[in-house]
C-alpha cells in the first residue's frame, strides 16, 4: 500500500500519481531513454495517463526524443504557491533537466544542484492525475538514485540492458543497487534492447549482434520478470532523432515489441 511505500523510502507521495517507475541501466548508450519514451507512448496508447521525468543529467535526451527541445516549462501560481507546468507532447507530460538552465551560469550540473532540480520536478511540478510517472535515470549508481528514493515513493524499477557482456555486468550492479536495504525498490523487470537485427531482405533471419539472451538470463538470475526484447531497428534511431517515438508507427516491428513490453509492465 501507499503507506508502506512511504515508510520504506521516507519519500512523500505525489498527489494524483499512482505509480512512479524508475527506468535504469548500468551502462550508458544501451537505449534507456529510447525505451522510456516508447514505453510511455505505448502505455498512453493503452489509455493510461503518463508523465516522464528525465533525470539523466549527463545527457538529457527526452526533450529531443519528443521533439520538444525548444520548449520551456511555464510557472503557475496555485494557492499562492509557484508550480511548474510540465511540457505536454503527444499526450505525455514531460519534465527534463534539459528544459532547465543550470543556476549560476554553470555549464554543467553538479550533483547537489541536480538533486535539488530533481526534487522540484517531484515536489513543485503540477503533474495532475497520472497512472504512470516514468523516471529516466542517469546510467550507473549515483547521488541522484539515492535522492530519488528519499524524495518519492518509487513503485518499482525497470532495468534496460543490451545482451552484451559489459552491459549485463553493469545492469547486474544496477539491479543489485535497487535491492540494497537502504534503497529497497522492487525490480519490476528487465527489458533487453538491441536484442537482434533482422534485415528487410531476410525477414526470417535474426542476427544477434550484441549476443543472445543475456537480458532474459539476467531476469532469471534475479527472479524478476522478463518484459521483452526490442530488436535493433533503424526507424527506432531515426524516430528518436526526429522527435517522434517509433512505437507511434503502429504496424511495425518496433510498434509491436514496445507495446508487448508495456503490456507486460502494466
CB closer to ligand ADP, 87 vs 232: 232
Please, are residues 197 and 229 in contact by the beta-carbon 8 Å criterion? Answer: no
Q: Outline where DSSP puts E strands in the chain.
A: 17-24, 50-54, 74-78, 81-85, 87-89, 92-96, 130-136, 156-161, 187-197, 226-232
Query: Is position 211 annotated in a ligand binding site?
Result: no
Q: Quick one: cell of 140? A: 550507473
Q: Quick one: cell of 80? A: 499562492
- Among 40, 137, 230, 262, the residue binding ligand ADP under the rule CB under 6 A is 230
Residue 86: which of 110, 66, 106 has the closest Cα?
Answer: 66
User: Does residue 255 bind ligand ADP (CB under 6 A)?
Assistant: no
The span from the CA of 36 to the CA of 183, in Å, is 21
Query: Is position 228 annotated in a ligand binding site?
Result: no
Query: Is position 224 annotated in a ligand binding site?
Result: no
Query: Is position 26 annotated in a ligand binding site?
Result: yes
Query: Is position 30 annotated in a ligand binding site?
Result: yes
CB closer to ligand ADP, 55 vs 84: 55
Spacing of C-alpha 108 from chain mean position: 22
* Signed CA dihedral, 201, 205, 210, 215: sign only: positive
The span from the CA of 39 to the CA of 205, in Å, is 26
User: Does residue 236 bind ligand ADP (CB under 6 A)?
Assistant: yes
CB closer to ligand ADP, 140 vs 156: 140
Query: Is position 37 annotated in a ligand binding site?
Result: no
What torsion, rounded to 10 degrees, do the Cα atoms 121, 157, 227, 209 define?
90
**In whole angstroms, how close is the CB of 57 to ligand ADP at the nearest point?**
12
Q: Which of residues 28-87 bind ligand ADP (CB under 6 A)?
A: 28-34, 61
Query: Which residues make Cβ contacts (< 8 Å) with residue 251, sequence separation at least 6?
Result: none
- Which residue lies nearest ligand ADP, judged by its C-beta? 31
CB closer to ligand ADP, 149 vs 236: 236
Query: Is position 28 annotated in a ligand binding site?
Result: yes
Q: Which of residues 138-197 bind ligand ADP (CB under 6 A)?
A: 193-194
**In whole angstroms, how close is the CB of 197 to ligand ADP at the nearest point?**
8
The span from the CA of 191 to the CA of 183, in Å, is 21
**In whole angstroms, how close is the CB of 188 to ligand ADP at the nearest point?**
18
Query: Which residues make Cβ contacts (< 8 Å) with residue 227, sequence separation at least 6?
Result: 158, 188, 189, 190, 191, 261, 264, 265
Region binding ligand ADP by CB under 6 A among candidate stretches 70-78, 97-105, 174-182, 229-237: 229-237
Number of residues that bind ligand ADP (CB under 6 A): 17
Query: Is position 91 annotated in a ligand binding site?
Result: no
User: Footprint of ligand ADP on this chain (CB under 6 A)?
Assistant: 25, 28-34, 61, 193-194, 230, 232-233, 236-237, 240
Query: Which residues are part of a known binding site?
Result: 26-33
Residues making up the annotated binding site for ATP are: 26-33
Amino acid at each position: 500500500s501507499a503507506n508502506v511505500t512511504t515508510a520504506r523510502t521516507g519519500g512523500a507521495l505525489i498527489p494524483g500519481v499512482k505509480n512512479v517507475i524508475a527506468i535504469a541501466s548500468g551502462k550508458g548508450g544501451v537505449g534507456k531513454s529510447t525505451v522510456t519514451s516508447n514505453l510511455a507512448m505505448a502505455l498512453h496508447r493503452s489509455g493510461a495517463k503518463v508523465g516522464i521525468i528525465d533525470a539523466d543529467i549527463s545527457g538529457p535526451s527526452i526533450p529531443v526524443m519528443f521533439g520538444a527541445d525548444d520548449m520551456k516549462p511555464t510557472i503557475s501560481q496555485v494557492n499562492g504557491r509557484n508550480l511548474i507546468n510540465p511540457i505536454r507532447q503527444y499526450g505525455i507530460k514531460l519534465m527534463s533537466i534539459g528544459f532547465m538552465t543550470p543556476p549560476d551560469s554553470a555549464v554543467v550540473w553538479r550533483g547537489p544542484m541536480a538533486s535539488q532540480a530533481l526534487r522540484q520536478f517531484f515536489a513543485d511540478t503540477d503533474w495532475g492525475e497520472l497512472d504512470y510517472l516514468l523516471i529516466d535515470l542517469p546510467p550507473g549508481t549515483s547521488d541522484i538514485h539515492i535522492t530519488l528514493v528519499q524524495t518519492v515513493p518509487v513503485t518499482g524499477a525497470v532495468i534496460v540492458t543490451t545482451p552484451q557482456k559489459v552491459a549485463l555486468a553493469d545492469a547486474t550492479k544496477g539491479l543489485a543497487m535497487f535491492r540494497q536495504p537502504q534503497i529497497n525498490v522492487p525490480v519490476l523487470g528487465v527489458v533487453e534492447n538491441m536484442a537482434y537485427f533482422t534485415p528487410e531482405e531476410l525477414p526470417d533471419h535474426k542476427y544477434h549482434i550484441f549476443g543472445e539472451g543475456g537480458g532474459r538470463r539476467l531476469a532469471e538470475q534475479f527472479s524478476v520478470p522478463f518484459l521483452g526484447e526490442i530488436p535493433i531497428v533503424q526507424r527506432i534511431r531515426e524516430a528518436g532523432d526526429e522527435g517522434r517515438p517509433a512505437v507511434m508507427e503502429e504496424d511495425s516491428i518496433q510498434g509491436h515489441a514496445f507495446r508487448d513490453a508495456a503490456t507486460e509492465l502494466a
